């Protein structure tokens, strides 16, 4: 069982996905910490509203990974479900471009 008071998982970032009218359509939050000179991210939750265009989840996930890379993160822990994993090396041509509606 996770210790919710553990600083490694205390939320330190959130990202909201809003549509053109400013309505909240999704989001994610988690924590970034450093250990042994490496930066890790704990991704607590990520959700998207129903009815979004196809590939929105891929674009949002790519925006999240880009954001984490900008913080120097090289490993992500997906909640309580698995071990730390290195960030994938996605090529931007594989995914639709992200919109300006992602904000942190």
Six-digit token string for 97: 């471009």
pTM of the model: 0.70
Query: What's the confidence (pLDDT) of residue 16?
Result: 94
- Residue pLDDT, tens place only, 19-43: 999 999 999 999 998 889 999 898 8
Domains of the chain from N-terminus onward:
7-103 (3.40.630)
Q: How far apart are CA 91 and CA 24, in angstroms?
A: 28
* Residue 57 CB-density burial (10 A; 0-12 exposed, 13-18 middle, 19+ buried): middle
């Amino acid at each position: 069982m996770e210790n919710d008071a553990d600083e490694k998982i205390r939320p330190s970032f959130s990202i909201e996905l809003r549509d053109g009218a400013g309505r909240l359509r999704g989001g994610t939050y988690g924590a970034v910490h450093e250990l042994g000179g490496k930066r890790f991210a704990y991704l607590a939750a990520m959700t998207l509203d129903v009815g979004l265009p196809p590939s929105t989840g891929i674009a949002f996930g790519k925006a999240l990974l880009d954001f984490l890379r900008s913080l120097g993160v090289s490993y992500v822990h997906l909640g309580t479900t698995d071990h730390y994993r290195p960030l994938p090396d996605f090529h931007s041509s594989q995914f639709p471009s992200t919109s300006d509606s992602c904000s942190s």
